[in-house]
């Protein structure tokens, strides 16, 4: 019998729906995952096997095949564990198929069956809401996903709780959204003594969202001024806060699901790699320019940054978006930031 569950795969800030199909057929005992899964997804096999063991559920001596559809879309991350485990339980007849059609599942399984926090639950909840489904995610990610009011979000501590929820024995409670921190920065421009022209320039830059270059000898207060810029800017609007939080959710940076209304302030070091600043790497993660979306990107010791990194800043500065290219996909991240650069004349 074939069972189907739903989850998502990430493409930039977008969470695309993925169907997890599981077939249990007679044949030599095996457990296979197909559908362009990377190493973290293939390893789900061992975690699912151990987590089911912990629930005293033995895998049948049959051929188990899991297909992640659409099969031509690359899939990354450990959040496929839960949908695979639930599809398998359903294929074994332990969870009714009609229950799992109405929810999107994501979560990493520990060997003991506990659900471990995964990145990206906020965009996943948006996708679930647009498909009219609920989201079941790890308890630690619930507060973040619950920000999407249109989706019912259930946060489960372990696989057993998900099993009880889906079989109707013990329903999970709806997750509550995390704190909104209004984030009035503790740093104030009045801490800066003198420097009237620099302060005025900073205020004009903040009012018009202009980029700014500060040149001055070491110890003249350049870093100090830059750090006070987020406090000058108005707090993020709710729409902006959600946009910024989506990127931070993908990077796993949201503390306890709290959404901050404070403008992000990112300060990459001049030795940071191109992938760290622009985005990319093997999984095309967002870089500092995207983490600073709607906020401030402060590049101290500007001339120390490698030339090719400075050149690639042109695209995000001009368009407010950055294209991260990897072997088989182009991912677009929003990156509208104020660039504050500082340099020593010596």
The residues binding ligand ADP (CB under 6 A) are 192-195, 216, 218-224
| Closest CB to ligand ADP among residues 222, 248 | 222
Identify what 69 binds: Mg ion, ligand ADP, none; CB under 5 to 8 Å per kind: none
| Cβ burial, residue 308 (10 Å; 0-12/13-18/19+) | exposed
* Nearest distance, CB of residue 196 and ligand ADP, angstroms: 10
| Cβ burial, residue 122 (10 Å; 0-12/13-18/19+) | buried
Please identify, among the stretches 73-81, 143-151, 152-160, 223-231, the one whose residues bind Mg ion according to the rule CB under 5 A: 223-231
Identify what 192 binds: ligand ADP, Mg ion, none; CB under 5 to 8 Å per kind: ligand ADP
Map residue 294 onto helix, strand or coil. Answer: coil
Cβ-proximal residue to ligand ADP, closest one: 221
| Side-chain half-sphere exposure of 92, counting CA atoms within 13 A | 17
Residue with tokens 């003594």: 193
* Nearest distance, CB of residue 192 and ligand ADP, angstroms: 4
At a CB cut-off of 8 Å and minimum separation 6, what does 68 contact?
A: 9, 18, 19, 20, 33, 34, 35, 36, 37, 41, 75, 80
* Nearest distance, CB of residue 222 and Mg ion, angstroms: 5
* Nearest distance, CB of residue 221 and Mg ion, angstroms: 8
* Nearest distance, CB of residue 218 and Mg ion, angstroms: 7
Residue 28, Cβ neighbours under 10 Å: how many? 7
Q: How far apart are CA 145 and CA 158, in angstroms?
A: 17
Q: How far apart are CA 202 and CA 196, in angstroms?
A: 10
**By CB under 5 A, how many residues form the interface with Mg ion?**
1
Within 70-109, the residues that bind Mg ion by CB under 5 A are none
* Nearest distance, CB of residue 213 and Mg ion, angstroms: 14
| Closest CB to ligand ADP among residues 221, 235 | 221
For residue 66, list its beta bridge partners.
Answer: 22, 33
With binding defined as CB under 5 A, does residue 223 bind Mg ion?
yes
Identify what 216 binds: ligand ADP, Mg ion, none; CB under 5 to 8 Å per kind: ligand ADP
Closest CA to 117 of 145, 85, 86, 140: 140
* Nearest distance, CB of residue 218 and ligand ADP, angstroms: 4
| Cβ burial, residue 328 (10 Å; 0-12/13-18/19+) | exposed
Q: Report strand pairing: 338-343 vs 296-299.
A: parallel
| Closest CB to ligand ADP among residues 79, 222 | 222
| Closest CB to ligand ADP among residues 195, 270 | 195
Identify what 221 binds: Mg ion, ligand ADP, none; CB under 5 to 8 Å per kind: ligand ADP
Contacts with Mg ion by CB under 5 A lie at 223
């Amino acid at each position: 019998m074939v069972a189907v569950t739903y989850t998502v795969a990430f493409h930039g800030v977008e969470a695309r729906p993925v169907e997890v199909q599981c077939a249990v057929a007679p044949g030599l005992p095996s457990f296979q995952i197909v559908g362009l899964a990377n190493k973290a997804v293939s390893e789900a096999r061992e975690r699912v096997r151990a987590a089911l063991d912990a629930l005293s559920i033995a895998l049948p001596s049959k051929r188990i095949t899991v297909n992640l559809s659409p099969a031509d879309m690359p899939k990354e991350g450990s959040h496929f564990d839960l949908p695979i485990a639930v599809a398998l339980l359903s294929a074994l007849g332990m969870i009714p198929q009609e229950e799992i059609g109405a929810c999107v599942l994501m979560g990493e399984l520990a060997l003991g069956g506990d659900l471990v926090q995964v990145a990206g639950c906020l965009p996943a909840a948006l996708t679930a809401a647009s498909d009219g489904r609920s989201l079941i995610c790890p308890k630690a990610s619930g507060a973040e996903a619950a920000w999407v009011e249109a989706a019912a979000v259930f946060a489960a501590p372990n696989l057993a709780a998900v099993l009880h929820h889906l079989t109707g024995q013990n329903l999970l409670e709806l997750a509550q959204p995390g704190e909104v921190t209004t984030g009035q920065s503790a740093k104030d421009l009045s801490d800066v003594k003198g420097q009237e022209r620099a302060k005025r320039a900073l205020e004009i830059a903040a009012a018009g969202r202009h980029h700014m270059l500060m040149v001055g000898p070491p110890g003249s207060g350049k870093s100090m001024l830059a750090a006070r810029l987020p406090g000058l800017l108005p707090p993020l609007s709710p729409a902006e806060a959600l946009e910024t939080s989506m990127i931070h959710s993908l990077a796993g940076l949201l503390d306890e699901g709290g959404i901050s209304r404070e403008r992000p302030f990112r300060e990459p070091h001049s030795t940071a790699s191109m992938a760290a600043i622009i985005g990319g790497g093997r999984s095309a993660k967002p870089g500092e320019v995207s983490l600073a979306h709607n906020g401030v990107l402060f590049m101290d010791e500007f001339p120390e940054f490698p030339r090719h990194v400075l050149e690639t800043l042109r695209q995000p500065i001009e368009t407010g978006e950055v294209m991260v290219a990897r072997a088989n996909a182009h991912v677009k991240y929003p990156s509208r930031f104020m660039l504050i650069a500082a340099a020593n004349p010596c």
